[in-house]
Amino acid sequence: MERLSNVFWLIGKELKSVLGDPVMVVLILWSFVVAVMLEASGAGDTVRNASIAIVDEDHSPLTRQISSALIPPWFQEPIFLSANRASAAMDRGEIMFILTFPPDFAADTILGKGPVVQLLADATAVSQAQLGTDYIRNIVQEESVAFLSGTPEAPPEDLQLELRRAFNPNGNPVWFKSMSSLLNQLSLLTIALTGAAMLREREHGTIEHLMVMPLTPAEVALSKVLATMIVVLVAFIGSLLFVVQGLLNVPVAGSAPLLVGGAAVYLWAAAAIGMLLGTLARSMAQFALLVIMVIIPVIMLSGGMGAVESQPELVQRLTLALPSRHFLAFAKAVAFRGAGIGTVWPQLLLMAGLGAAFFAASLMLFRRSLSVSN
């Protein structure tokens, strides 16, 4: 009971230290409000507001029909230019796409001669260039079919593909990116705050004060981990309710309490990693470099920036040691597929186990560093 009391008062000390720092409070609010919104809605795997120029050497109803189909929010209003002016505009970075219709394009289409349309794309924006090319090709094909048949529906084929999107009917990338952004903020803040709290004690010389008190290293380490978990978990809940579900309109199909509980388990693992880094580092500069080395693979290999299955097989095996991979799989299952505890318990168990392993390693190093300093 006395040890629980010690941990309780130490947690209060850590919370007062974090919440009493205005810069830290602003950083937490920025991360879970502004950063989540920017990351979820600012970038995407869809074309948006792309600039396009039309070089129309045919001036036919078909070319006008295709041009009118290039509409916002995917494309800006098309600009009709000559070939030389369009090329110069692309060289200046003002135009992303140039669609050129040759003379007699509509007539050759009607006669079935298979005319060629030229599409130039500014590939310095690799993702948008690739996606925009697919968008424009589909628009040209669909509008050509509509022009020839008088209906936007293509003639029925022997084999037809019926596409239905599961769990995200409209294919809205904000849904997935919001969860990925929450994971990134959880990882970065939790690791940074926990490790910085340990280094702050060491640099200010207060760690020795704590050790002369009737406290064990486990109590000191556990209090810092739990204090960070409390602060970040409260920020996570607020961001989930008011930013993700409120401002971004991302629905949570499963149990919100289960999602919060899983976030708490992940915070335990992430805080243990931060504690380990804070114990290894001897200065704030060293800690900053360690955080950069750790947080990049934690974020990039979690599956938020690309599917885990698309990674090399060796890397996929290594990512099993990352709690972030298991949390993202857990969060997607609960938030989008409505999974229950019976489905996601392996991810919860893996996160808890990895957290216990990292905490045990950090506690061992912490005790060793104290014995060396004494």
Give the pLDDT of residue 370: 64
Give the pLDDT of residue 176: 84
Percent of residues, the chain, with pLDDT higher than 90: 26
**Torsion 146-149-152-153 (CA) sign:** negative
Q: Reply yes or no on whether the pLDDT at 210 is more than 70.
A: no
Whole-angstrom Cα distance, residue 210 to residue 214?
Answer: 8
The CATH class, in words, for 52-149 is: alpha beta
Angle, helices 323-337 vs 341-373, to 10°: value is 150
Between the CA of residue 289 and those of 109, 228, 282, what are the distances in Å?
Answer: 61, 21, 11
Give the pLDDT of residue 27: 87
Angle, helices 256-280 vs 341-373, to 10°: value is 20
Question: Mean pLDDT across the stretch 321-326?
Answer: 92
- The winner for highest mean pLDDT among 131-140, 158-167, 235-244 is 235-244
Pairing of strands 118-121, 97-101: antiparallel
Give the pLDDT of residue 151: 59
What pLDDT, in 10s, does the model give residues 1-54? 666 777 777 788 778 877 888 888 888 899 899 888 888 876 556 777 888 999
Least confident of 180-194, 301-315, 353-367: 301-315
Give the pLDDT of residue 47: 76
150: left (phi over 0), alpha (psi -120 to 50) or beta: left
CB 352 within 8 A of CB 326: no
Q: Reply yes or no on whether the pLDDT at 207 is more than 70.
A: no
More confidently predicted of 288 and 368: 288
With CA atoms as reference, report the closest residue to 125 among 69, 66, 51: 51
Give the pLDDT of residue 322: 92
The model's confidence at residue 127, banded by pLDDT at 50, 70 and 90, is: confident
What pLDDT, in 10s, does the model give residues 243-297? 999 898 888 888 999 999 999 999 999 999 998 998 888 888 888 899 889 988 8
More confidently predicted of 205 and 327: 327
Rg of the chain on CA atoms, in Å: 28
Whole-angstrom Cα distance, residue 40 to residue 306?
Answer: 15
Domain ranges, ordered by start, for the chain: 7-43+170-373, 52-149
Q: Reply yes or no on whether the pLDDT at 153 is more than 60.
A: no
Give the pLDDT of residue 93: 83
Widest CA span in the chain: 93
Question: Mean pLDDT across the stretch 328-350?
Answer: 92
Give the pLDDT of residue 283: 83
Between the CA of residue 135 and those of 42, 171, 177, 251, what are the distances in Å?
Answer: 20, 15, 21, 27
Q: How deeply is 114 buried, as exposed, middle or buried, from its count of CB atoms within 10 A (0-12, 13-18, 19+)?
A: exposed
Element (H, E) at 36: helix 36-42
What pLDDT, in 10s, does the model give residues 88-106? 888 888 888 999 999 988 8
